[in-house]
Amino acid sequence: MPAKPKVEDEYSRLYKMIVTGKIMPNERIVEMDYAQMFNCNRANIRRALARLEQDGLVVIEPFKGARVRLVTPEEAVETYEVRGALETLLVSQAAKLATEADKAILREILNKLYEARDNGDPMRVGTIGRQIREELWRISSHKTALKFLTQINSQLIRSSYRSVMMPGRADAIAQQLTEVVDHVSDGDAEKASEAMRQYHASAREALVAALQVKDYVF
Amino acid sequence: MPAKPKVEDEYSRLYKMIVTGKIMPNERIVEMDYAQMFNCNRANIRRALARLEQDGLVVIEPFKGARVRLVTPEEAVETYEVRGALETLLVSQAAKLATEADKAILREILNKLYEARDNGDPMRVGTIGRQIREELWRISSHKTALKFLTQINSQLIRSSYRSVMMPGRADAIAQQLTEVVDHVSDGDAEKASEAMRQYHASAREALVAALQVKDYVF
DNA sequence: TGTTGCTGGTTTGTTGACGATACTACCAAC
DNA sequence: GTTGGTAGTATCGTCAACAAACCAGCAACA
């Protein structure tokens, strides 16, 4: 009765299990086990794994199977850098395209961000900060950059959790994102992207610092 | 007797056929046909297609099969923009890391570029220009950005051929890349990436112009 | 004790067959 | 002449079984 290919299902289910840490890094993914768990065929798991491999979430070795890929700290930093470059591009588009309604939404989310900050809830600041950035993604309407950003984010969800917990990070996020939103509201693409560049520069610093706290395994 | 999975083969064979235009845009890719042509199983073609879909080179519709994806002009421009953002990031790394040997290589390729320009061979200017940029990729050692750039380039090989034929484009390429290489040689990351940004800005313009020449099907 | 070589079990890679779906051409009715 | 329905074909999605390769454990030997 499957009107459309189920592979999408298995893919996203596995995807979620990996990025949420349900399947730990370096853990093997035996095709048969997950086929039974998901109540589907091995071939579907197989295809899902192939896609996940291209996402950089798993590695597949011939005749040895798939396992969750271990992301090295250096790689995480590099990924942050790429994300920064893309979002900088994207914000300049957003500044040119933002409607009044868009600006209102951004303001609104920003207020929630302040609230979270004042409540001393860094985790929530991180979540809302991400929400703002995703809103900017939407506003920019840059499908291609969006595609890559989506792909990228999967790889650093876990790192992000750590860096947002660094002392002072929450304040910095609030301040810098405010600046970004301000410039976007003014329609100043140049300044907006410069502000975003700075946001990402300091996000990168925070990550590097977080990574040095101890040799954390991603 | 295949010691390792052949899927890599089928993938790259199909890949080449698509980017070189052997399989035309919108042309159907019937699994069975190519399985016979490559003398392999349908499952391999299937997996190769799944990967190509994520590369954005083919689209797969349930029960309708795969076909080479048609890249719209808007998409090509967006892709150029993303490429520009990534290479700008990457050049600043290259400026920091370039050794004397690297600089010598860059100079050498640059000379070949001048030669091609003076011979009035825009196609060759394009090819060599690309060679320089790939050299910069290597120097930057930014694996993550590189991964994405590789992925991206597959989608715009055909567009590139067109934009390099625009009048004056060859000269602009030579001039702007010289500037980039100069700054990289000086180790000035800031200026180098700014120069690269300009290069890509004008590459984008050239593409837009080329696209408007006539409604070319990619 | 340390190393080598075998052996059984486990997991993957491959294959062919079957059922499901969408497209197409034909025919009848209006 | 056009529209609507229907059968046939081509193609895809799914599945289960087989073959090849890897791995752990044990035994034999230096």
Closest CA of chain A from B142, distance in Å: 7
Q: In what order do the strands lie in the sheet with B65-68?
A: B28-29, B65-68, B58-61
Q: What is the mean pLDDT of chain A?
A: 89
Residue B56 sits in the same domain as residue B162: no
Q: Which chain A residues have a beta carbon less than 8 Å from that of B54?
A: 51, 54-55
**Pairwise CA distance, residues A67 & A58, whole Å:** 5
Verify that A64 and A77 share a domain, yes or no. Answer: no
Of B54, B82, B84, the CB nearest to A51: B54
Domain count, chain A: 2
Task: Report the chain A residue with the minimal C-alpha distance to residue B146.
Answer: A82
**Domain identity same for B137 and B79:** yes
Q: What distance in Å separates residue A98's CA from the closest CA in chain B?
A: 18
The answer to whether residues A56 and A77 belong to one domain is no
Residue A14 forms part of a structural domain: yes
- For chain B, say whether A47 makes contact (Cβ under 8 Å): yes
Regarding whether A51 and A38 lie in a shared domain, the answer is yes
User: B153 beta carbon < 7 A from strand C?
Assistant: no
Is residue B48 domain-shared with residue B99, that is, in the same domain?
A: no
Put simply, the chain A residues between 135 and 154 with a CB less than 8 A from any chain B CB are: 142-145, 147-148
Rg of chain A on CA atoms, in Å = 19
Interface contact flag, A56 B142, Cβ < 8 Å: no
The number of C-beta contacts closer than 8 angstroms across A and B is 70
* Residue B21 DSSP SS3: coil
Query: Per-residue pLDDT for A4 more than 70?
Result: no
* Same domain as A78, residue A32: no
User: Which residues form the domain of A20?
Assistant: 7-68
**Nearest CB to A89; choose among B43, B51, B81:** B81
Beta-carbon separation of B85 and A88 below 8 A: yes
Whichever domain contains B164, its CATH number is: 1.20.120.530
Tell me the pLDDT tens digit for each residue of A67-113. Answer: 999 888 899 999 999 999 999 999 999 999 999 999 999 999 999 99
State whether residue A89 sits within 8 Å of chain B by CB: yes
What pLDDT shows up at residue B166?
A: 87
Which pLDDT value is given to residue B213? 64
Same domain, A38 and A99: no
User: What would the pLDDT profile of B11-68 be if each residue is shown by its tens digit?
Assistant: 888 888 888 888 888 888 988 888 888 888 888 888 889 888 888 889 998 888 899 9
Tens digits of residue pLDDT in B173-189? 999 999 999 999 999 99
Burial of B61 (0-12, 13-18, 19+ CB in 10 A): exposed
- Nearest protein residue to nucleotide D12 (CA to C1' distance) is B63
Strand C nucleotides within a 7 Å radius of protein CB atoms: 11-17, 20-23
* Residue among A82, A167, A179 at smallest CA distance from B85: A82
Q: Which residues touch strand D (CB under 7 A)?
A: A 2, 5-7, 40-44, 62-64; B 1, 3, 29-32, 43, 46, 60, 62-66
- Whether A64 and A164 map to the same domain: the answer is no
Reported as a single tens digit per residue, the pLDDT across A142-194 is 999 999 998 888 787 767 777 888 889 999 999 999 999 999 999 999 999 99
Last residue of a domain, one of A19, A43, A68: A68
Same domain, A63 and A103: no
Residues B61, B79, single domain; the answer is no
Q: In sequence order, what DSSP letters do the residues of A97-153 get, joined into one string?
A: H--HHHHHHHHHHHHHHHHHHHTT-HHHHHHHHHHHHHHHHHHHT-HHHHHHHHHHH
Q: Are residues B111 and B62 in the same domain?
A: no
* Rounded Cα distance, A116 and A150, in Å: 25
